Structure 1
Amino acid sequence: MRDFQLPGRSAVYAENGLCATSHPLAAGAAIDILKRGGNAMDAAIAGAVLLGICEPQMTGIGGDCFMLYNRPGSHEVQAFNGSGRAPAAANAATLRDQGHKVIPIHSAHAVTVPGAIDAFCHLAETEGRLGLDALLEPAIHYADTGVPVAPRVAFDWINSAPTLQGAARKHYLLDGQPPLVGQMFRAQGQAEVLRRIARDGRDAFYTGEIAEDMLTALATQGGVHSADDFANTTCMATTPVSGDYKGTELVEHPPNGQGATAILMLNILKHFDIVGMDPLGAQRTHIEAEAAKLAYDARNRFIADPDHMARLQHMLAPETAAGLAELISPNRAMSAAAPLSESVHKDTIYITVVDKDRMAVSLIYSIFHGFGSGIASEKFGILLQNRGAGFTLEPGHPNELGGGKRPMHTIIPGMLRQNGRVAMPFGVMGGAYQPNGHARLVSNLTDFDMDLQAAMDAPRAFSDGGVLNVERGYPDAVRQQLSDLGHNVEIPQTAIGGSQAIRIRSDGVLEGASDPRKDGCALGY
């Protein structure tokens, strides 16, 4: 139990249903959907779409999503890939010939076709109860009437505002400036888009006037996208991947998501006596950082569009982790692994919902960098993701940019099972940090038996691009010890990641936790 004389928050307990996400309005909307008779899928979609209005720098209808869920009465985890593809005319050689070594992150070349709307429409029809029009009502309302800007959102808005270009500045700045805390943000163009989707389904977004608005914005910026690229967008069900960590099964979305990286990282950590270490000490932080370097290096080599990769089983094999673990010295940091093959970002939303029938949904939804590509459509203000920056331009790499391919994605929803039963949908936002965040949260719960909220609150560290970012929650003495081990230690300007989780306890009660690094909360009824 936490010390009630120190800052902190309690977990939220409920019986009938619970939502945890990064903005209170979205959590409230999700609970309202449950009370109206909707299931967890309905509630998660309603909350996610609203988050695109509450946190437009993080996500929106111009982005992608991934999802894990189980159906009522079943503990089989389903996966759904809501990521879009590069335009058919995309060509890595063309960009190389223009002198590019990486894909320009704020250009039309980085824009892949948004997949989330296709996924939401499909899942609302096949897994939901209330119908798409009911699920989009909250987002339409707040897009029309406005949302007061929350503190963390305002912080991120200021940092990412320089990304906005052209029409995006008109739609996402107030009198040319980022909004301040408490100022109202409205997105009436998006409200109209959502009304049309509610009435006419996914075709309202991928064909006709709305698609033409997006295509015009991209063509103006030199994009090679076509009407067929949008009209032919189809998202798909897929099969999760999983791994065991000391009796807890971590279930992840498969490639093109990077979830296998978290499984590999935990497989490496199995070879060390983590439970015997100080959870906030230098030794644990060092071993975790070294495991991350190796797991991320494997990710950069192997993960891509599933139709273009063949080494997934090798990445997940126990002997692969054993060999990598032998490379870790307890006394010295290794040099940083190969640079990330995608452009690192920290801008994503995550929502999880569990309903009274114990259907659990783990949904992550993003436009990649802060405000994505910075390109928005003129009429409707649809901000387009720059998820194509997740491709590499390296010739012959499985994740090389190519027409119709899906890029490697950093966003990953998570799910834990224990004794074959779904036990906890969860997610840890934060771009490249996400696999490390999944591994850290699982280790906090498994190795140190932390309370769920305490496991989420605990300070974080992340080895990224040759720098070991160590949050201020660590003592200065630990930072010095890590420096002595050879790490290049810095305190990050922005908190590392943000997480949400719902534990389905053995007595049937739901326990929800929400990361204080965000504006959100867990709510139940």
Structure 2
Amino acid sequence: MKYLSYILITLFTTGSFSYAADRVTGKDFVTRSPVLAGHAMAATSQPLATQVALDVMKKGGNAIDAAIAANAVLGLVEPTGNGIGGDLFAIVWDAKTKKLHGLNGSGRSPKSLTRQWFIDNGYDKIPSHGPLPVSVPGTVDAWFMLHGKLGKLPMSEVLQPAINYAEQGFPVSQLIAYYWNRSTPLLSKYPGFIEQFTNNGEAPAHGEIWKNPYLANTLKTIAKEGRDAFYKGKVAKTIAEYIQQQGGFLSVEDLADHRGNWVDPVSTNYRGYDVWELPPNGQGIAALQILNLLENFDLKSLGHDSPEYVHLFTEAKKLAFEDRAKYYADPEFNQLPVEELISKAYAKKRLQLIDKNKAGKHFPAGNVALSHGDTIYLTTADKDGNMVSLIQSNYRGMGSGMTPPGLGFILQDRGEMFSLEAGHFNAFEGGKRPFHTIIPAFVTKDDQPWMSFGLMGGAMQPQGHAQIIINMIDFGMDVQEAGDAARIHHTGSSEPTGEMMTDGGILNLESGFSYPTIRALMRMGHKIQFANGPYGGYQAIQKAENGVYWGASESRKDGQAAGY
């Protein structure tokens, strides 16, 4: 029945019915042209945030200032995906030094909490909500790290637009109203949520003006007193007291000890383009592993809507995700074989496991010698050539539900991603960073910036990164077409939390793939189901050889790319 419903929906959306307002240029599926600008560009998941980023750059700020300002606004206008209760990762191209900088702004687990405590109290996995999955929020510290290294305007000016919108209000956009309404029944049982994120228990409606005076006050404190106001001052004390009152373990010491890390991005070369990701504890290198495998096939001749391409992509994803489940974790607690995992030689070994005609049901992780959620992604670029690729999230939409009194934000539940399996790389330990799904990406060509991009959506992210690259390099799509094209989403692979892939998982194909392709994939043994909405959210800025910025935004979200 699931197969039949998928086929009927696909025929309705891609068969004899044509799209409205057929375009005279570009691919028939594309929603709009790329946005072009010669001076500066911003692409975010909310138009208000995009405009703030441009305003900051028009005032003399750079791409780093603009990214921080936009992120602060997104935490207000899109609380269903991010906020200062979450973590942040970024890749920044510094035009002055012509160098990429990576920032891991993820927080650590409470030091006083142990894996044994969970076992002794009857847990077989870490819960998704409440106080136990809460880890230290790293976003505010990451803002100040970015700003201290590369920022230009005073932080008070950078955060002022978010403060203004929090005090004066903003109209809630369509998709955010939808997800806010879905989250409210689940999170309303936690103290502080109803008071700070509902109108008498109801989520704000699409188009309703929403204010968050609590968040405005918190941002004012941060703007005036700096990052320590969040990690060592009244804010930290409020967070710790609240969490411990709910039965959690996060302490003022955990918050005070937090520091993000500057890291070196890692890359693989895909058909002449260097694709850059951050190393674990994130999942970025899975995209590089997928690309290394698929580089061995002539994807261009196969075409985007072909069963052969979709099959090869899915099998490559399965292989990469088995390594992801085993090896991706906090490098401060493990010796991780990153260099070998993203090597061409390793890809050649793993390639032998792919059957070109049959879907794999089970794959082992590689033998390497050792020496859900929602998210926001944004990218900015300025007149000097600086470019920022930034991603930020609370995990599981609005996060843990833990809403400290009077602060105006919800704490993340990233700790759910730890495993309780003894000896696992990602096993829970106090003071450890969990496996992370959020990943920014960057591409260079001939040591020059070519594209800053990201694609939101849990385990969809590395799958989406690889598909964007393939769409542009193999299938010749422009930066907007690459995001609008129908996406492949495979679920059911083994996970870093300990779950194992069973019977090959499930293949979701977005509307746009043809019925003959779907039928051929089913004959290969793929289990195909219709899924509504797990295909991620994309933003990108590409830099052309003549210096013009090409911006793209996600047609599936409420976003906007704009420039001047």
1:5: how far off?
8.3
Q: Which amino acid aligns with 1:11?
A: P
Listed as ranges, the gaps of 5+ residues in structure 1 are 340-344
1-side partners of 2:273 and 2:29: how far apart? Answer: 31
Equivalences for 1:38-57 in 2 at 5 Å?
38-57=61-80
2-side partners of 1:306 and 1:499: how far apart? Answer: 28
Which stretch shifts more, 112-121 or 308-317? 308-317
The aligned residue for residue 327 of structure 1 is 353
Give the 3-state SS of the residue equivalent to 2:311 in structure 1: helix
The aligned residue for residue 414 of structure 2 is 387
Question: Residues 7 and 358 (structure 1 numbering): CA distance in 2 closer, same or farther, change over 3 Å?
Answer: closer
2-side partners of 1:130 and 1:118: how far apart? Answer: 17
Q: Which amino acid aligns with 1:270?
A: E
The aligned residue for residue 255 of structure 1 is 280
Give the 3-state SS of the residue equivalent to 1:108 in structure 2: coil
Mapped contact 1:59–1:365 kept (Cα < 8 A): yes
The aligned residue for residue 271 of structure 2 is 246
1:281: how far off?
1.9
Which stretch shifts more, 45-54 or 165-174? 165-174
Question: Residues 294 and 130 (structure 1 numbering): CA distance in 2 closer, same or farther, change over 3 Å?
Answer: same
Deviation string, structure 1 residues 279-314 (Cα, Å, up to 9, x no partner): 122221111111111101101110111112322122
The aligned residue for residue 199 of structure 2 is 174
Q: Which amino acid aligns with 1:363?
A: L
The aligned residue for residue 117 of structure 1 is 140
Q: Which amino acid aligns with 2:549?
A: L
The aligned residue for residue 13 of structure 2 is none
The aligned residue for residue 151 of structure 1 is 174
1:427: how far off?
0.5
The aligned residue for residue 304 of structure 1 is 329
Which stretch shifts more, 7-16 or 166-175? 166-175
1:323: how far off?
1.7
1:170: how far off?
2.3
2-side partners of 1:388 and 1:116: how far apart? Answer: 16
Deviation string, structure 1 residues 487-524 (Cα, Å, up to 9, x no partner): 11111121410111111100111100111011011110
Equivalences for 1:461-476 in 2 at 5 Å?
461-465=488-492, 466-476=505-515
Give the 3-state SS of the residue equivalent to 1:296 in structure 2: helix
Give the 3-state SS of the residue equivalent to 2:267 in structure 1: strand
The aligned residue for residue 370 of structure 1 is 397
Give the 3-state SS of the residue equivalent to 1:70 in structure 2: strand
Equivalences for 1:50-449 in 2 at 5 Å?
50-164=73-187, 165-310=190-335, 311-335=337-361, 345-449=372-476
2-side partners of 1:182 and 1:7: how far apart? Answer: 27
2-side partners of 1:263 and 1:427: how far apart? Answer: 14
1:480: how far off?
2.4
2-side partners of 1:84 and 1:8: how far apart? Answer: 37
Equivalences for 1:493-508 in 2 at 5 Å?
493-508=532-547
Give the 3-state SS of the residue equivalent to 1:363 in structure 2: strand
Mapped contact 1:346–1:429 kept (Cα < 8 A): no
1-side partners of 2:452 and 2:112: how far apart? Answer: 38
1-side partners of 2:171 and 2:363: how far apart? Answer: 42
CA-based RMSD: 1.6
Give the 3-state SS of the residue equivalent to 1:431 in structure 2: coil
1:483: how far off?
1.8
Question: Residues 494 and 237 (structure 1 numbering): CA distance in 2 closer, same or farther, change over 3 Å?
Answer: same
Mapped contact 1:219–1:225 kept (Cα < 8 A): yes
Question: Residues 167 and 350 (structure 1 numbering): CA distance in 2 closer, same or farther, change over 3 Å?
Answer: same
Give the 3-state SS of the residue equivalent to 1:486 in structure 2: coil
1-side partners of 2:84 and 2:28: how far apart? Answer: 42
2-side partners of 1:364 and 1:337: how far apart? Answer: 30
Mapped contact 2:30–2:484 kept (Cα < 8 A): no
Q: Which amino acid aligns with 1:81?
A: N
Mapped contact 2:401–2:410 kept (Cα < 8 A): yes
Mapped contact 1:167–1:381 kept (Cα < 8 A): no
Q: Which amino acid aligns with 1:425?
A: S
Q: Which amino acid aligns with 2:198?
A: L
Q: Which amino acid aligns with 2:412?
A: Q
The aligned residue for residue 342 of structure 1 is none
Which stretch shifts more, 352-361 or 94-103? 94-103
Question: Residues 493 and 56 (structure 1 numbering): CA distance in 2 closer, same or farther, change over 3 Å?
Answer: same
2-side partners of 1:290 and 1:4: how far apart? Answer: 27
Q: Which amino acid aligns with 1:507?
A: N
1:474: how far off?
2.0
Q: Which runs of 4+ in 1 moved over 6 A?
A: 4-7
Give the 3-state SS of the residue equivalent to 1:308 in structure 2: coil
1:79: how far off?
0.5
1:338: how far off?
8.1
1-side partners of 2:184 and 2:516: how far apart? Answer: 36
Which stretch shifts more, 156-165 or 85-94? 156-165
Question: Residues 474 and 155 (structure 1 numbering): CA distance in 2 closer, same or farther, change over 3 Å?
Answer: farther
1:220: how far off?
2.2
Q: Which amino acid aligns with 1:190?
A: L
Deviation string, structure 1 residues 406-463 (Cα, Å, up to 9, x no partner): 1111100000000111111110111111111110000111111111111110011111
2-side partners of 1:177 and 1:480: how far apart? Answer: 44
Q: Which amino acid aligns with 1:302?
A: Y
Which stretch shifts more, 267-276 or 502-511? 267-276
1:317: how far off?
2.2
2-side partners of 1:250 and 1:439: how far apart? Answer: 9
Mapped contact 2:30–2:481 kept (Cα < 8 A): no
Q: Which amino acid aligns with 2:442?
A: M
2-side partners of 1:186 and 1:483: how far apart? Answer: 49
Mapped contact 2:30–2:485 kept (Cα < 8 A): no
Which stretch shifts more, 101-110 or 412-421? 101-110
2-side partners of 1:524 and 1:75: how far apart? Answer: 23
Question: Residues 199 and 5 (structure 1 numbering): CA distance in 2 closer, same or farther, change over 3 Å?
Answer: same
Mapped contact 2:27–2:481 kept (Cα < 8 A): no
The aligned residue for residue 491 of structure 1 is 530
**1:512 corresponds to 2:551:** yes
Deviation string, structure 1 residues 323-366 (Cα, Å, up to 9, x no partner): 22111111111115589xxxxx1300011001000001100011
The aligned residue for residue 19 of structure 2 is none
2-side partners of 1:286 and 1:7: how far apart? Answer: 24
2-side partners of 1:506 and 1:487: how far apart? Answer: 41
2-side partners of 1:503 and 1:383: how far apart? Answer: 33
Mapped contact 1:78–1:238 kept (Cα < 8 A): yes
Deviation string, structure 1 residues 247-267 (Cα, Å, up to 9, x no partner): 010011111111111111101
